[in-house]
Amino acid sequence: MRVFLAATSQGMSREMRDYSFQKYKPRYVLETFFNGESSCLKAMQAVGNDNFLLDSGAFSYMNGQKVTLAQMEEYVDRYIAFIVKYQIKHFIEIDVDNIFGLAKVEEWRQKMERAAGRQCIPVWHKGRGVDYWKRMCREYRYVAIGGLVFHVKKQEYELIRRLVHYAAVRGVKVHGLGFTKTKSLNDYEFYSVDSASWTVAAARGQQVHYFNKDHIETRVLDKQGRKVDLGKLISHNMGEWVKFQKYMNGVK
């Protein structure tokens, strides 16, 4: 299973980021277009096109960023231009269903695929329904499930497990967007997942992460009255998550 590190451009200085990439050598990285073209290009160059996943940045718009249709159209065009220019292999659709509706999302998806000459990774949300999931699995070889960061209730994880299994038995790869439950990750048949918790948790809660046998453990850093060097903390967490990447790389 591929575990992508997300938000590698956040929380560290350029120097610390370059040092951390050189020292720990992450295998898989996801970057969001919302963070800018230069961040995406650096992430892709660091791990190679095969091991890079480009996110559209829809999550940022769906969680507080206001945008007009005209602004979104311009954003879509820039996203497409970047994909085409750098021949990005794995890119996620702009799944802003709750803002502009599914029909518009599908229109942008088709536009993107025509320009790139290959399929994107469509993202299933609860509002699309199970029948739509089955349709995605018929038409695509690599799909994603969104809304896993904030919008999934405890009782819905069994549905997600069944959806992923449905795809897996049909040879369809599934990516879990923002799936960070490392202790239960082996219970799902994901092909890939991503997480930004290694950097977000450090920056917000000053949490330190450790790889322990087959999962990530988290504890709040005991500052003992001292100011925390967040860059070093995030760098440390990256190293532990790279250990987890390597472990999960051998898990089907």
Burial of residue 97 (number of CB atoms within 10 Å: 0-12, 13-18, 19+): buried
DSSP 11-49: SS-HHHHHHHHHHH--S-EEEEGGG-HHHHHHHHHHH-G
Say how many residues make up the chain.
252
In the chain, what is the greatest distance between 2 CA atoms, to the nearest angstrom?
Answer: 56
Of 227 and 20, the one with more pLDDT: 20
Give the highest mean pLDDT range of 144-148, 167-171, 228-232: 167-171
Rounded to whole angstroms, the Cα distance separating 30 from 4 reads: 6
DSSP H helices, 56-168, are 58-62, 69-85, 97-100, 102-116, 130-139, 157-168
Q: Read off the pLDDT band of 74 (50, 70, 90).
A: very high
DSSP H helices, 157-196, are 157-168
Domains of the chain: 2-248 (3.20.20.70)
Q: How far is CA 239 from CA 126, 167, 177, in A?
A: 34, 32, 21
pLDDT for position 139: 98
pTM value is 0.92
pLDDT for position 23: 96
Kindly state the average pLDDT of the residues 116-131.
Answer: 96
Structure-block tokens of residue 70:
């005209």
Residue closest to 186 by CA, chosen among 1, 28, 29: 1
CA dihedral (129, 133, 134, 136) positive or negative: positive
Check whether 252 has a pLDDT greater than 70: no
Coil, strand or helix at 150:
coil
Check whether 19 has a pLDDT greater than 70: yes
Check whether 70 has a pLDDT greater than 70: yes
Q: Read off the pLDDT band of 76 (50, 70, 90).
A: very high
Structure-block tokens of residue 161:
């497990």
Which residues does 5 contact at the CB level (< 8 Å), separation at least 6? 26, 28, 29, 30, 194, 195, 196, 198, 238, 241, 242, 245
Q: Which of 63-72, 132-141, 193-202 has the lowest mean pLDDT?
A: 63-72
DSSP state of 56: -
pLDDT digits (tens, 9 = 90+) for 36-58: 999 999 999 999 999 999 999 87
Q: Which of 46-55, 183-192, 200-209 has the lowest mean pLDDT?
A: 200-209
Contact 58, 95 (CB under 8 A): yes
pLDDT digits (tens, 9 = 90+) for 131-166: 999 999 999 999 999 877 655 667 788 899 999 999
Number of H helices, E strands in the chain: 10, 9
Contact 178, 150 (CB under 8 A): no
Kindly state the average pLDDT of the residues 96-120.
Answer: 96
Q: Which of 21-35, 121-135, 221-235 has the lowest mean pLDDT?
A: 221-235
Average pLDDT, the chain: 91
Check whether 193 has a pLDDT greater than 90: yes
Rounded to whole angstroms, the Cα distance separating 83 from 240 reads: 31
pLDDT for position 221: 78
Beta-strand pair 215-220/207-212: antiparallel
pLDDT for position 157: 85
